[in-house]
Amino acid sequence: MLAVVAALDQATKALALASLAPGQPESVFFGLDLSVSRNTGIAFGALAGAGDAVIVALVAIAVGVLLVFFAARADRPLLWLPIGMVLGGAAGNLIDRGRIGAVVDFIDPSFWPAFNLADMSIVLGVLGVLYVAEGRKEEPEATRGTGEEGASAAPSSPRPGAGRPRAGGESAHCHDSS
C-alpha cells in the first residue's frame, strides 16, 4: 500500500504541475479549485516555518507511534492497510520535500487549506487505523463454538415458533391437560 499511495501521489502532483499554471486556479465545481502551491509545512500547511529537521523528526515520531500501535494490536492484520496509507502519504510528501524543498499541493477547497493525495491518504489512514484497532475482533470460523463456553452455552435465541400463540389461542408452551 505504501508504494501504491506514494506512486499515485507523485503521479497526480506531476500531472498538476504539468497542466496547471501557478497562481491561476481552475474551478472544478462550486467551492473546489485545482491550484498548484508549494507547502513548506506539514499537512494542510501546518508548521510552515518549522524547518526540515523539525518536520522530519515529527514524521519519524508519527511513524514510530504507528508501528508501536500496530505491534500492540498484532491480532488485527487489517491494520497494515491503513498504516500503509499513512506511510505512503508520508513518503509521497517526503519525496517532494527532498526533491524540491516543499510539498506540492493542488486540491484547493475554498473552506480549507490546499492539500494533495498524500494528505488525504494520511487522514484516511489514521481514521482507518482507529476503526480497525477498535473494531470487533473476528473469531476464526474453525474455532467458533468449539471451546468449553461454546459447547455448553445455550442458544442465544429461542427455537422458531416458541412463545407464539397457536390456533385456538394456546401458547406454544401450554400443553393440553385433557
96 is catalytic: no
The H or E element that residue 63 is part of is helix 52-72
How far is the C-alpha of 50 from the C-alpha of 109, rounded, in Å? 24
109 pLDDT exceeds 70?
A: yes
Instruction: Identify the active-site residue in 9, 96, 108, 119.
Output: 119
Q: Which residue has the cell 494533495?
A: 116
pTM (two decimals): 0.65
105 is catalytic: yes
Closest C-alpha to 138, from 81, 75, 83: 75
- Tell me if residue 118 falls in helix, strand or coil: helix
Instruction: Identify the active-site residue in 9, 96, 105, 108.
Output: 105
Residues 116-157 pLDDT 10s = 999 999 999 989 988 887 776 555 565 555 555 544 455 555
How far is the C-alpha of 50 from the C-alpha of 46, rounded, in Å? 9
- Tell me, what's the pLDDT at 94? 87
The domain locations on the chain are 2-137
DSSP class of residue 76?
A: -
